[in-house]
Amino acid sequence: MFFQRYANAVTRYPKLSLVLSAVLFLLFVFLARDVRLNNHFAALFSIDNEDNAYREFYREVFGADDGLLMAIVQLPDDDPTAMNQVFFSHLEVAVEKLEQTGNYNRVLSPVSTSVIRAGKDDEIIIDPLFADDEISDAMRLKLLRESPATGGRLVSIDHNTVAVIAEMPTDFDRFRKIQEPAEYFRSTMNGAFVDMPTVSVQFAGIPFTRIGILELMLRDLFLLVPLTALIVGLVSFLIFRSYAVVWITLLTTLFGLAATVGMMGINGDDVNQLTITFPVLLMVIIVANSTHFYHRYFRECQFGTDQQTAVSIVTTRVGKAAFLSCLTTAIGFYALMTADMKILRSFGLYLGSGVLVSYVGMMLIIPACLMLAKPKAGNISTFTGKDWVSRCVAYSTSVRGRRWVTAAGVASLLGGGWLGYHIEYDYFLKDMLAPDHPQVVAGEVAEQKLSGALPLEVSLLGEPGAFKQADVLKKMRQTGDWLHVKGFGDHALSMADIVQSLNHAISGDNAIPDSNEAVAQLLLLAEGSSDAILEQLVNFDYSHARIRVNGSDLGADYLVTVKAEFNEYTETLFAGTGVKARMTGEAPVAYEGMNKLSRELLESVLMALVFIVITIQLVFRDWRLSLGSVFPNILPVILGLAFYALSGQSLNPLPGIAFCIAIGIAVDDTVHLFARFNEELQAGKPRVQAIIDAVDEVKGALIISSGILTCGFLVFLISGFSWNRDLGWLGAALIVIALFADLVFTPAVLSFGDARKDKV
């Protein structure tokens, strides 16, 4: 009744409907005025658990390990005199410029970090080696390579390569904050060696990787999304031969996007790495539903229905089906709000709400525009007649065919489910960028010639004075050696390394002293360094110490495994000392969080599918429809998981996002098919004939919408962002699978019923 009354109103007052949609659009734009794109990386894996809370506590003591800007300065390896006083003078000027800005807590470099050495009178010095120190180039390089704070970390052991690392403040955790200091760091280091053509500078570290990712995200947002819309519009025009179809879809999409961003503005949120995918998803929902509007409208016009009646039928019949499909999809997305991770809950909230508001936009804009524009379609293909689809449906609904087709579908679900059950979760930060991206290349150089670019932190917490004890320092040194065996850098740095190096310089014994008194003497000497080397490694009362490690990106799965082994190893190692060792920092917490995000995203998608099936049962009250919805909605996800398992690929968050998009198109097509099927049943047709006629009527819209969206997704293959490229081919594949399931498996399931009535 409501839809019929609304159809009467919108066909009588179409201009009023458009004015209302324009007012709402402007309101949403106003509400969205402060929303920005924010690459707050920690928010992506943030979860209210002990590991994340400890990470925050650790950052307050020692600073942010994810705020390290790294410049890798390379000279020709075949020139043994390249790293001379002239080079270090240039380096010192650049470091002084960085230190004077106030943007960095500390700048670590070969000319600003303490080096342990003997002075003129054989006294032990622990201070930086400045460029004007009276020392030979060969001796300077030897001391830098032997000192624990610089050797392997800031100066390569075997190559003419050095690193400069600037530590940004802890609260520099968002793109808007890190962009300026990162660009100043880049320009300063690039400008330091303009008169030395043999010197090259590359940039690594998590902040530069984040900037690189965000730049690609922005590029894709402003290039690929409009290009996708252009392709979708072009294909729509080629199919419907109507300019009105193109601009009506564009207006409806803009309404949905503005509404979703407006809701973010109301809550004070920004667009993040997950919600940035909502333009694609809403485009999927709107294109799929609007295609059904246009297809039914042009079909009614072909049957000779007058303009107002055609729009009224479309608004009533397709509008009701579109409401059910959008409601079902929204419920599915709202199921994501049961996840533990905040970013996933917001993802579900905004996508579910965005789908519902987009439906409002469709109902306000499409019928009114059809009334005013009176579009005339060219020779559109309705895919009616005895084509391959009709033959497939006829076989699927036959007594013999339905059994074989259903059995094949069940086998696909079970087989794919078994394969998907054994899938592994893994994540590599570097995989988010192309292999030839400057940040990836720089990271590889850091791994090959230095200790690596990915920071790893070990927190050691004990009683005040605990880290003045010789036995504790020896165990700390053993912990660093254990990390080296596990592949996390060759040059871990801790106060144990400083004490051991000082003892070697004084006594010739390259070990930590056995007595606490000897350790205290060495620590007193280290406390006099001008760069406060000990303050970087232990707190004021010696109750909290750290081990700094730079390593390779070995992936989330390996890091999580090593973390568990580390906990077991250090619990035994430090037993009886009162010291608790813990692996923390950005890498272990983030990588474990990303694996959890991948797992929760997939689990939430599967839960959403369950909610969708339940909703369809509640709406249509037919178990065959509920069962029939399983294939088009769940089969794409199951087969997608099976593909990842068979290809040996591990799951990251990207497939979960693609599965969400697949839900959007699969639910839409399924509900429209079911709605038309009910229409045919209400017309008094036998069940099987109703199925055949329903598919015959909507298959054109299904094929057209799937074809348009597949073309749109394939545009993402030109992206420089690896996740978007994967989203392109995976999204296209899932849409094709969902279409196949709707046209083949669903009719087979729906045809089960009274055998006497089903025979046609």
Shared domain for 282 and 259, answered yes or no, is yes
Q: What is the CATH number of the domain that holds 405?
A: 1.20.1640.10
Q: At 376, is the pLDDT very low, low, confident or very high (cuts 50, 70, 90)?
A: confident
Give yes or no: residues 134 and 163 share one domain: yes
pLDDT at 380: 54
Same domain, 678 and 748: yes
Q: How many whole angstroms separate alpha carbon 436 and alpha carbon 128? A: 36
pLDDT value of position 17: 95
Q: How far is CA 143 from CA 133, 136, 505, in A?
A: 13, 11, 11
Of the residues 531, 551, 571, the one at which a domain ends: 551
Q: Is 73 within the bounds of a domain?
A: yes
pLDDT at 757 over 60: no
Is residue 309 pLDDT above 50, yes or no? Answer: yes
Mean pLDDT of 535-546: 94
pLDDT bucket at 395, cuts 50 / 70 / 90: confident
329 confidence band (pLDDT: 50, 70, 90): confident
Question: Six-digit token pair at 622?
Answer: 């037919």
The amino acid at residue 116 is I
Q: Is the pLDDT of residue 280 over 50?
A: yes
CATH number at residue 116: 3.30.70
- Residue 516's domain spans which residues? 453-551
Other Cβ atoms closer than 10 A to 127: 17
117 found inside a domain: yes
Please give the Cα distance from 106 to 311 (Å, whole number).
68
Nearest 5°: the CA angle 49, 176, 269 is: 55
Domain annotation covers residue 491: yes
The number of folded domains in the chain is: 3
Is the pLDDT confidence value at 661 over 70? no
Encoding tokens for residue 516?
């606490």
Per DSSP, the three-state class of 136 is: coil
| CA–CA gap between residue 127 and residue 84 (Å, rounded) | 19
pLDDT bucket at 226, cuts 50 / 70 / 90: confident
Low-confidence winner among 343-357, 599-613, 626-640 (lowest mean pLDDT)? 599-613
> Which residues contact residue 282 at a Cβ distance below 8 angstroms, ignoring those fewer than 6 apart?
253, 256, 257, 260, 354, 355, 358
User: Looking at 496, 527, 551, which one is the last position of a domain?
Assistant: 551
Residues 90 and 12 in one domain: no
- 447-to-182, 212, 497 alpha-carbon distances in Å: 21, 19, 21
Q: Are residues 75 and 166 in the same domain?
A: yes
Whether 299 is covered by a domain: the verdict is: yes
Last residue of a domain, one of 204, 220, 245: 204
| Winning range, highest mean pLDDT, from 98-107, 213-222, 278-287, 336-345 | 98-107
Would residue 542 be called left, alpha or beta, if left means φ above 0 and alpha means ψ between -120 and 50 degrees?
A: left
**The pLDDT of residue 65:** 83
Tell me, yes or no, whether 572 lies in a domain. no
Model confidence at 378: pLDDT above 60:
no
Does one domain contain both 200 and 241?
A: no
In the predicted structure, residue 96 carries a pLDDT above the cut 70: yes
C-alpha 539/C-alpha 545 separation (Å) is: 6
Q: Are 314 and 256 found together in one domain?
A: yes
Q: Which residues of 505-523 are buried (b: 16+ CB within 10 A; e: fewer)?
A: bbeeeeebbeeeebbebbb
Q: pLDDT value at position 132? A: 62
- Domain presence at residue 437: no
Please give the pLDDT value at position 760: 36
Q: Do residues 360 and 218 both lie within one domain?
A: yes
pLDDT at 698 over 60: yes
Average pLDDT over residues 283-303: 84
Question: Which SS3 state, helix, strand or coil, does residue 37 take?
Answer: strand
- In three-state secondary structure terms, 760 is coil
pTM > 0.85: no
Give the mean model confidence (pLDDT) for residues 477-484: 92
What's the farthest any 2 CA atoms get from each other in the chain?
109
Buried b / exposed e over 401-437, threshold 16 CB at 10 Å, is: bbeebbeebeebbeebeebbeebebbbbbbbbbbeeb
In a domain, 580, yes or no: no
Instruction: Based on the fold, state whether residues 151 and 263 are members of the same structural domain.
Output: no
Residue 721, SS3 per DSSP: coil
Residue 435 lies in a domain: no
- Give the pLDDT mean for 43-64: 78
Question: In this structure, are residues 256 and 361 in contact, taking their beta carbons and an 8 Å threshold?
Answer: yes
Which stretch, 423-432, 485-494, 644-653, has highest mean pLDDT?
Answer: 485-494
Same-domain check for residues 469 and 384: no
The pLDDT score that the predictor gives to residue 368 is 95
Q: How far apart are CA 657 and CA 254, in angstroms?
A: 21
Backbone Cα Rg of the chain: 32
Cα distance between residue 38 and residue 41, in whole Å: 9
Residue 340 three-state SS: coil
Query: What mean pLDDT, rounded, does the chain reach?
Result: 85
Percentage of the residues of the chain whose pLDDT score is greater than 90: 32
Lowest pLDDT segment from 24-38, 96-110, 385-399: 385-399
For position 49, what pLDDT does the model report? Answer: 73
Mean pLDDT of 499-511: 91
Could you give the CA distance from residue 173 to residue 44 in angstroms, rounded to a whole number?
12
Is the pLDDT reported for residue 655 higher than 80?
no
Question: Which of 14-28, 215-229, 451-465 is least confident?
Answer: 215-229
For residues 400 and 479, state if they share a domain.
no
Average pLDDT over residues 635-659: 78
For 707-754, what is each residue's pLDDT tens digit? Answer: 877 887 788 788 777 777 787 888 888 888 888 888 888 888 888 864
Determine the Cα–Cα distance for residues 128 and 138; give it in Å rounded to an integer: 16
Between strands 68-74 and 200-204, the pairing is: antiparallel
Q: How many CB atoms lie within 10 A of CB 250?
A: 16
Q: CA-to-CA distance for 277 and 269, rounded, in angstroms?
A: 15
Q: How many Cβ atoms sit within 10 Å of the Cβ of residue 125?
A: 17
3-class state of residue 200 by DSSP: strand
C-alpha distances in Å from residue 48, one per residue of 38, 42, 53: 21, 12, 7
pLDDT at 46: 57
Give the confidence band of 23 by pLDDT, cuts at 50, 70, 90: very high
The alpha carbon of 413 is separated from its chain's Cα centroid by a whole number of angstroms, namely 27
Whole-angstrom distance, CA of residue 298 vs CA of residue 305: 10
Same domain, 289 and 313: yes
